[in-house]
Amino acid sequence: MGRVTSRTPVLRIRGAAHSTRPDTVAAEEPLEIRLGGTPLAVTMRTPGDDFDLVHGFLATEAVIASADDVAGLRYCNSVDAEGRNTYNVVDVDLAPGVQPPDTALDRNFYTSSSCGVCGKASIDAIRTKTRHDVAGDGLRVPLATLLALPDRLRAAQQVFDKTGGLHAAGLFTADGELVALREDVGRHNAVDKVVGDGVRAGRLPLAGHVLMVSGRASFELTQKAAMAGIPVLAAVSAPSSLAVELAADVGITLVGFLRGDGCNVYTCTERIVLPDGAQEARRTSAARDTWGEPPVP
């Protein structure tokens, strides 16, 4: 298995003090995913939980629906200059009857650590339809539980403590219990690893859960949440306009700027349970937005 971190010498400057010292950085290496020996995708990732990553990628790209659709997978020989296996190629055998995607039509799967959809041809090609009724999910999350998630995510980030350079994705219950956490240089890889953990454990769809991510909420992360059946996606940073549009379309509660004692809820706000006073304020505000004035009691 490749290394999660590596050591490199740096010139450390802190004010007037200068020193040379080793520093720990997050590892980034390519992972090639093959289907029956045929290359399908290459993504830049942090080594570790690669089989979770592969399962999650295939599930969120609608190639598989469950772990039963995978007959087997293995690391292939991918040697470095010294003849050592780099563990950077995984070959997947799909179960009988599972059709591989036709990547020659209108998209390809080549990705980077910063953007998992850079190679896809059009917005229509990546708006993959989910198998799950996300909009019908009855999850309700108390605001206090939601506000506590960033600290719980951060507390579980072991590699980030060493490098400061990894994204994290965490799957939480409605009570704020951490179910799974994965770190990676690519935010989309971290999410795929969390989803893949659910696929391999037979827990898809991940209904009734909150997906918390350490960065921004992009279109792709919103799509991955929808494909996994996750009703709430929360991020410490901003969402994109396409993420908001997709969340509204599929019925995901999209939360951004989740930090400290506040957040912005962009879609499906009814899933966030506010304190009694705040609930009344929300009803009054909604009425004012609709009619110009609050309703007469």
Which residue numbers are catalytic?
115
Question: What's the rounded Cα separation, in Å, for the pair 265 and 74?
Answer: 41
Residue with tokens 């994204």: 167
Q: What is the DSSP letter of 46?
A: -
- Whether residue 187 contacts residue 195, with contact meaning beta carbons closer than 8 Å, is answered with no
Sign of the C-alpha dihedral computed for residues 202, 205, 206 and 211 taken in this order: positive
Count of CB atoms within 10 A of residue 126's CB?
A: 18
Question: What's the rounded Cα separation, in Å, for the pair 158 and 111?
Answer: 25
Q: Look up residue 37 and give its amino acid.
A: G
Here the tokens at position 139 are 């999850």
Q: Determine if the peptide bond prior to 205 is cis (ω within 30°).
A: yes
Residue with tokens 């009691």: 297
Question: What's the rounded Cα separation, in Å, for the pair 208 and 152?
Answer: 18
Degrees, nearest 5: CA angle 160-165-166: 65
Question: What's the rounded Cα separation, in Å, for the pair 8 and 23?
Answer: 5
